[in-house]
Amino acid sequence: MIIQILDHITDEIKQIRIDVFMKEQGFEDEFDEIDETAKFVLLSIDGKPAGTCRYFPSNEEGDAHIGRMAVRKLYRGQHLGTKIMMAAENGIRRDGFKTCSLSAQVQAKAFYESLGYKAEGEEYLDEGCPHVMMRKVL
């Protein structure tokens, strides 16, 4: 297993997001201007891209936002999402941020809670999918 933190999006990262968010979950607005400036975590197993996320400074002082966390279906159930999140949090700490936030799909809320994130505010819809803001103090 190799985990990389990259300062640019790669074709492998794009394909994971297309597979998980667009093909599996039906999202349409997958790529945006944040991809031009975010940092990316890429987890590969035996040379094959298995999961990813991105992070970037949020609008709140001292906070970085984690987003687009995805693990390909073939690799689920192996705690790779936790490894991706830990790598992102370590990068965020190194960059001097004190907290990290994320917009969690409600169906993944328990996963993020297991990593120490706490829900903030009401649920809302993003492309018809229920989400909730969550935050963790590093």
Q: What is the pLDDT of residues 30-83, one digit of tens each?
A: 999 999 999 999 999 999 999 999 999 999 999 999 999 999 999 999 999 999
Q: How far is CA 26 from CA 19, 20, 91, 100, in A?
A: 10, 9, 30, 27
Residue 65 CB neighbour total at 10 angstroms: 22
Residue 87 confidence (pLDDT): 98
Note the pTM of the prediction, 2 decimals: 0.95
Backbone dihedral region of 79: left (phi > 0), alpha (psi from -120 to 50 degrees) or beta? left
Residue 13: CB partners within 8 Å, gap ≥ 6? 6, 40, 42, 49, 52
